[in-house]
Amino acid sequence: MKRLLTIMLFLILPKLVAAQATQFLLEDTVGGKYKVKIYVVGDTMAKNQIQESLYKAVDHANLVFKKLKPDDPNSELGAINAKKTAGIYMVSPELAGAINEGYEASEWSKGLCDLTSPSEQRNYKEIKVKIKTNELKIKKDGTLINLNFILRGFLADTIANDLNTAGWKNVLIKIEDVFVTRGNDVNGPWKIPIITPTDKFAKRAFYYKATDVASATLTINRGPIQVIDSRTKQIASSDLKSVTIFMSSAAKSEGLACGVYLMGFEEGKNFILKYPNLRAVLDNAQGQLTFVPEFKPSH
């Protein structure tokens, strides 16, 4: 996909003195697989610097994608999986960070979505990673790692972190149904759409106003949900048609959306209510939306 940087101008009148605020939009792909949209708020005079930062962030995300492909023997993770051998591995910061996020998402989801699910005897606790030293420890032979259940979220977090490091504090990243916001849009908090199956609610748009929030949605909008239940190693069924999780990390949001889908409506709702830093939107088999805990979305 050809890179296209779009500039959107907004006019703000603080105290009757005109000032120009600018929103930049880059549309691209990551890994030749995921469509990405990145919005940055900045000054028009900084166009070249913003463009350079955007390109670098997407290029880095592409590099991360190549490292995390579990079945590619030429990828960093694929080479480790091919050995199927316990031991200590020195890995890149990107792989260490992704495995750490995958481990935490596995714990949050109570092992329902497990980063070692391809293994014959899956158990995420057979993995240890030290992100300060980029040291990966695999305790048991035959342990395989698959990070696909947090991959879009980790890529979105990576882009957001890179842009913040480059000095751009007001950004929104969208990779399919995963969002990351940092700072604010031109006129206030960013608005993350709440994605629901396109039948009963097709003409209703709900938004979550968000500053420094990430979200991920698992939905039947893209066809049957192909989530593997790590307990049975079979494609799972659920009484939920979509799950959206809001928290600080897009990677963990994506992992938890998977876990809550496997829990089902009642267990998933009770799980979310235990954690004050989590919010969720659950869509049951009848198309009824439940906001957990209760909150009012914007329209």
Least confident of 105-109, 140-144, 162-166, 228-232: 228-232
- 3-class secondary-structure state, position 136: strand
φ/ψ region of 16 (left if φ > 0, alpha if ψ in -120 to 50, else beta) reads: left
> Is the dihedral angle over the CA atoms 42, 45, 46, 48 positive or is it negative?
positive
The Cα 273–Cα 55 span in angstroms is 39
Question: Would you place residue 198 in the very low, low, confident or very high pLDDT band (cuts 50, 70, 90)?
Answer: low
CA distances to 100, 125, 147, 219, 227 from 238, rounded to whole Å, are: 27, 26, 22, 11, 10
Q: How many residues in the chain? A: 299
64 vs 22, 68, 77, 225, CA distance in Å? 29, 6, 11, 25
pLDDT band at residue 8 using 50, 70 and 90 as cut-offs: low
Higher pLDDT, 221 or 280: 280
Q: What is the mean pLDDT of the chain?
A: 88
pLDDT at 234 over 80: no
Indicate if the pLDDT at residue 242 is higher than 50: yes
With bands split at pLDDT 50, 70 and 90, how would you rate the model's confidence at 20?
low
271: left (phi over 0), alpha (psi -120 to 50) or beta: alpha
151 closest CA partner among 233, 226, 95, 211: 95
Residue 267 pLDDT > 50: yes
Neighbours of 231 (CB within 10 A): 13
Mean pLDDT of 263-271: 94
3-state secondary structure of 44: helix
Give the global pTM: 0.91
> DSSP letters along 184-223, please?
-BTTBSEEEEE---TTTTTT--EEEEESS-EEEEEEGGGS
For residues 59-85, average pLDDT: 95
Q: Domain limits of the chain? A: 76-150
